[in-house]
Amino acid sequence: MELLKIQNIEKYYGGKLNLTKAVDDISFKVDEGEFVAIMGASGSGKTTLLNCISTIDRVTAGHIFLGDMDITKLKGKALTNFRRDRLGFIFQDFNLLDTLTAYENIALALSIQNRPAKEIDEAVKLAAKQLGITEVLEKYPYQMSGGQKQRVASARAIITHPSLILADEPTGALDSKSAKLLLERFNYLNSENNATIIMVTHDSFTASYASRVLFIKDGRLFNEISRGDSSRKEFFNKIIDVVTLLGGDVSDAL
């Protein structure tokens, strides 16, 4: 079932003289339960694209439909509510509140929705179990490793059961072991909870965990490959091939 439909969106920066087309006429669709990775070199516009989808940034032209709602038309309170209820965010730098414990950080996403405390408690414990962070729940961010922090952030993102989880370079600040652990959790959430995930990355290894990879170059859609029934290893090799074709610093990032 089609969940997200992106129609000819454009995002320009600057004025007449120094116009930058960060996103230049991109269209694609994401089905429910899909795990999509968006790859591209730095400056290719992938983060801008994600920001537009997440309503943090506004598009210059085009439409983004989530279900049958045009989210580019949302304003003010409706926008905040949409972000709060329908989206889950995972950031490269975790964005955990350093004054709160892991438990409270996760609970905050539900508190903002004004859910009763009892319901919050159950939900937090379940999410923590799914992401394997039950034992760090009472710790503060400064007492956790990067991987733990990112899993806490992920727990916070999924706990509201959002329609769409957006991850911006989630493994960017992690070592390879933690990254692998996190991505396996993503796969788990994707298959068990039927969570729809869109992940921006420039790392082919990270992207190989997705079911489909979109490649972006200079603000345009460059290529798109699906994993299908192939193994992760084969998929990884396919990605490498495209990246080589793409050139630029993505290949450096291998």
Partner 1 sequence: MLFKLSLNNIRRSIRDYAVYFFTLIIGVSIFYSFNSLSTQAAYLRIENDEHDMIELLKDFISGVSVFVAIVLGLLIVYANRFLMKRRNKEFALYLMMGMSKRRISRILLTETVIIGISSLFAGLLLGIGLSQLMAALTANLFDADMSAYKFTVSSSAVVKTVICFGIMYLVVMILNVAVIGKCRLIELLQSGKRSEIIKQKKMWICVPVFLISAAVLAYEYFVVGWHMEKLSRERFALIIAGGAVCTFLLFWSVSGMILRVVMSMKGVYFRSLNSFTFRQISSKINTNVMSMTVICLMLFLTICLLSSAFTVRNSMRSNIEEYCPADFEVTYSEKEGGETGFDGSPVFVDIEEMYRQAGFELSDNMKEYVHFHRYTDTDLTLESFCGEKAEELKIKYPFIAWNRAEEIVKLSDYNKVMELYGREKLELADNEFVITCNFENALNLRNSALSKGLVINVFGRELVSKTDECVDSFIDLSAQHVNDGIIIIPDSAADESFASVDAFIGNYKATDKEEKNAIEKIKREEYKKVCDTYIDPYAENSGNDIFCDIDTKAAINNNAVGLGAIVTFVCLYIGLIFLISCAAILALKHLSDCTDSSERYEMLRKIGAGEKEINSSLFRQTGIFFMVPLILAGVHSVFGMKFASDVLGAIGTEGIMGSVCITVLMILAVYGGYFLITYLCSRYIIKSRKT
> Where on the chain is the footprint of partner 1 (CB under 8 A)?
56-57, 77, 80-81, 83-85, 87, 89, 91, 95-100, 104, 107-112, 114, 116-118, 120-121, 140, 142, 156
| Residue with Cβ nearer partner 1 (39 or 96) | 96
| Residue with Cβ nearer partner 1 (83 or 125) | 83
Q: What's phi and psi for 11, nearest 5 deg?
A: -140, 115
- Least distance CB 190 / partner 1 (angstroms): 21
| Residue with Cβ nearer partner 1 (114 or 229) | 114
- Least distance CB 102 / partner 1 (angstroms): 12
| Residue with Cβ nearer partner 1 (60 or 95) | 95
- Least distance CB 199 / partner 1 (angstroms): 16
- Least distance CB 56 / partner 1 (angstroms): 7
| Residue with Cβ nearer partner 1 (155 or 207) | 155
- Least distance CB 142 / partner 1 (angstroms): 6
- Could you tell me which residues come within 8 angstroms of residue 252 by beta carbon, excluding any fewer than 6 positions away? none
